[in-house]
Amino acid sequence: MFLVPDVVVRFFHRMASPPHFYTFTERWMPWLVGLFVLLLGAGLYGGLYLAPADYQQGDSYRIIYIHVPSAWMSLFIYMVMATAGAIGLVWRIKLAEVVLISSAPIGASFTFIALVTGSLWGKPMWGTWWVWDARLTSELVLLFLYLGVIGLYGAMDDKRVASKAVAILALVGVVNIPIIHYSVEWWSSLHQGPTVTKMGKPSIHVSMLIPLLLMALAFKVYYVIALMQRARVELLSRERNSQWVKNKIAMETK
C-alpha cells in the first residue's frame, strides 16, 4: 500500500489553516508573479515571433497560444473546484470551500476567453463565428456551470450552506468534462482533433509546441496567483471576527 510521507500530510494539514494559508500566500506571491511574467514573455515571444507560420492557416493560427491554454484551464479549474467541493463536503475543511468559490470566476473567465478566441479562429477557418458543434456546445455548457456556481453562492446569505450547495453542483457538473474532452472523437465535429494530448507523438512541430506549453504553464501560474488573491479576500470576509484577522489588521494599520 502506498503511504503518503508525513511531511506531505503535515504540509496540507497546515495549509488547511486559514492563518497559515494567508501567511503562505503573502510570502510566495512576489515569486509567483515573477515566474508568471517570465513564462508569459517567453511564450508570447516564441509563439508570436519565433514560431513559423502554419502552412495552411498562415499567421492566423497564432491565436492558439491564447485559445488552447484557456480551453485547457477551463477544464482544469473545474476539476479543481469539484475536488475542493468533495473535500469540503466530506471533511468540512473551510479552505476547500474557499478554493471552490474563489476558482469559479477565474474558470468562467478562461472559458469565456476560450469561446471568444475559438469563434475568432473559426470565422476564417470554418466560414462562421459559431456552430452547434459538440465541442463548442459542451464548452458553452461549462460556462453556464461556472456562472451557476457563482450565482448560487451569491444568492445565499449563509455561506457555509451556500458552499455545500455549490459543491454538489460542481460535482454534478463533472459529467460534462469528459464530454468536452472526447467530443471530437465521439461525434463528427468541425473542431480540430487533439494534437498535443493525443497518444504517440504530437502532430505539432516542436517550434510551435514549446511556446504553447510555456503559455499553458503561464496560465496555470496566473490561476494560482488569482486564486490566492481571491481566496485571501474570501477568508478575510469569512474570518473577519477571528482573532488572527484582527491581529493582521492591527499590524497593517500600525
Q: Find cell 511556446 and name the residue.
A: 211
Q: CA torsion angle for 122, 39, 138, 117 (degrees, to 10)?
A: -20
The pLDDT of residue 188:
58
The pLDDT of residue 7:
65
Q: Which residues contact 117 (CB under 8 A, 6 or more apart)?
A: 63, 66, 67, 70
C-alpha to C-alpha distance for 119 and 55, rounded to whole angstroms: 21
C-alpha to C-alpha distance for 147 and 107, rounded to whole angstroms: 10
The pLDDT of residue 2:
47
Ordered mean pLDDT values, 10 residues apiece, the chain (254 residues): 60 79 94 98 96 86 95 98 96 94 98 96 83 91 98 95 97 96 69 56 81 98 98 92 84 75
